[in-house]
């Protein structure tokens, strides 16, 4: 029976990367400590309780993708300080660096969204997230994704369906057979990491009363338009108080590839931080632009973890 490889909480980024290279995804158990899971549920649970299920699109395909009994909302950086901590996760950063930086000067948060699948929701159609960008090259990874379980994922309540190894299929239109699929069954606090080329989809919620809640956090090449418009969703004054890496991930800093030419996201052909300094929204120590990757995050060695 197919299974998604599961690593323990103290596994290194290199171990996770090796599995993703081979299989397209990996589960890391207890990737998000219990206190952070509690804070995420505390911050976002009340919003989910009052949020209406279903899609806000008139398009039939988008309605199918979003589901009729699924709640989803974005703008998580301003809705939860705990999510800002997730954005700085060292292991996730190392995985995103590995898969994305060979193809860009820096990457951005594509989306941070809460997804809560309600009882009776059928299977989501299987898809590759990189197909968000028309004409995407199947030999190039455009995005890296994480799904963090805020409630237990089971085979009955909608655990994500995955086709292991599908990120390596030569035919981008190939559809998996039933014996090529499995589910990301995992306890709350665990994280599924995968590339945008992996075939996957939300599972069917066959329960009578369980709601499967998760956060998807994904990153995309810095020269792509992101799924979420952070600069409209997040007040400028709020973003200015956050660390430089967070500002860069959210698109509040200019993008520069490996040469001085081709810079994106500018204000009067200068990095936005210069305009923000002129307006008194950031302090005078703020530097224009940013060196990416920033200092490689160091994970605590296993022997030092408690």
**What are residue 183's DSSP bridge partners?**
161
Q: Which residues contact 66 (CB under 8 A, 6 or more apart)?
A: 54, 55, 56, 57, 72
Cα 25 to Cα 4: distance, rounded to the nearest angstrom: 7
% of the chain surpassing 90 pLDDT: 69
pLDDT of residue 254: 86
pLDDT of residue 303: 42
297 located within any domain:
no
DSSP codes of every residue in 123-157: PPPPB-GGGGSTT--TTS--EEEEEEESS-B-TTB
Task: Give the pTM.
Answer: 0.90
The count of C-alpha atoms lying within 13 angstroms of the C-alpha of 37, restricted to the half-sphere facing its C-beta, is: 19
What mean pLDDT value characterizes the chain? 89
Q: Which pair of structure tokens corresponds to residue 168?
A: 């390596």
Q: Which residue has the higher pLDDT, 113 or 295?
A: 113
Residue 46 structural domain: 6-229
Which of the four pLDDT bands, split at 50, 70 and 90, describes residue 271? confident
pLDDT of residue 66: 75
220 located within any domain:
yes
Which of the four pLDDT bands, split at 50, 70 and 90, describes residue 277? confident
pLDDT of residue 259: 60
Cα 249 to Cα 108: distance, rounded to the nearest angstrom: 4
Using only the alpha carbons of the chain, give its radius of gyration: 19
Cα 228 to Cα 230: distance, rounded to the nearest angstrom: 6
% of the chain surpassing 70 pLDDT: 90
Q: Which residues contact 174 (CB under 8 A, 6 or more apart)?
A: 166
249 located within any domain:
no
pLDDT of residue 295: 41
The count of C-alpha atoms lying within 13 angstroms of the C-alpha of 150, restricted to the half-sphere facing its C-beta, is: 26
**Residues 215, 220, 225, 229, Cα dihedral to 10°:** 30
Q: Which residue has the higher pLDDT, 47 or 262?
A: 47
71 located within any domain:
yes
254 located within any domain:
no
Q: What is the pLDDT of residues 222-260, one digit of tens each?
A: 999 999 999 999 999 999 988 888 998 999 988 887 665
Greatest mean pLDDT among 37-51, 163-177, 280-294: 37-51
Looking at the structure of the chain, the number of domains it has is 1
Q: What is the pLDDT of residues 22-71, one digit of tens each?
A: 999 999 999 998 899 999 999 999 999 999 987 777 777 776 667 788 99
pLDDT of residue 282: 82
How far, in whole angstroms, is CA 265 from its chain's centroid? Answer: 21
Q: Is 263 helix (H, G, I), strand (E, B) or coil?
A: coil
Neighbour tally for 225: CB within 10 Å? 11
| CATH code at position 182 | 2.60.120.620
pLDDT of residue 297: 36
| Cα–Cα distance list, 10 to 32, 40, 66, 89, 299 (Å) | 11, 21, 34, 13, 9
Q: Which residues contact 88 (CB under 8 A, 6 or more apart)?
A: 243, 245, 246
192 located within any domain:
yes
66 located within any domain:
yes
Closest alpha carbon to 6 in 149, 117, 137, 169: 149
Q: What is the pLDDT of residues 181-215, one digit of tens each?
A: 999 999 999 999 999 999 999 999 999 999 999 99
240 located within any domain:
no
Question: For residue 143, is pLDDT > 70?
Answer: yes
Q: What is the pLDDT of residues 15-24, one digit of tens each?
A: 999 999 999 9
């Amino acid at each position: 029976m197919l299974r998604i490889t599961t690593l323990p909480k103290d596994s290194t980024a290199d171990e996770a990367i090796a599995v993703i290279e081979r299989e397209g995804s990996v589960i890391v158990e207890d990737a998000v400590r219990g206190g952070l899971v509690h804070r995420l549920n505390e911050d976002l649970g009340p919003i989910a309780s009052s949020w209406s299920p279903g899609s806000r699109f008139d398009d039939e395909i988008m309605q199918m993708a979003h589901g009729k009994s699924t709640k989803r909302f974005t703008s998580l950086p301003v809705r939860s300080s705990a999510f800002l901590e997730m954005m700085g996760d060292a292991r996730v950063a190392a995985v995103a660096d590995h898969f994305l930086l060979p193809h860009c000067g820096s990457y951005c948060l594509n989306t941070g969204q809460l997804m809560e699948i309600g009882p009776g929701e059928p299977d989501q159609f299987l898809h590759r997230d990189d197909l968000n960008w028309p004409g995407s090259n199947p030999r190039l990874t455009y995005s890296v994704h994480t799904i963090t379980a805020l409630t237990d994922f089971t085979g009955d309540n909608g655990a994500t369906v995955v086709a292991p190894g599908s990120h390596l299929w030569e035919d981008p239109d190939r559809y998996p057979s039933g014996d090529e699929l499995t589910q990301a069954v995992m306890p709350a606090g665990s994280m599924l990491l995968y590339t945008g080329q992996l075939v996957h989809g939300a599972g069917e919620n066959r329960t009578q009363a369980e709601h499967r809640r998760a956060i998807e956090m994904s990153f995309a090449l810095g020269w792509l338009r992101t799924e979420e418009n952070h600069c409209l969703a997040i007040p400028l004054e709020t973003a200015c108080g956050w660390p430089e890496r967070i500002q860069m991930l959210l698109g509040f800093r200019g993008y520069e590839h490996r040469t001085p030419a081709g810079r994106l996201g500018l204000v009067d052909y200068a990095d936005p931080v210069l305009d923000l300094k002129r307006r008194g929204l950031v302090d005078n120590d703020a530097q224009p632009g940013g060196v990416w990757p920033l200092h490689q995050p160091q994970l605590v060695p296993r022997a030092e973890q408690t």
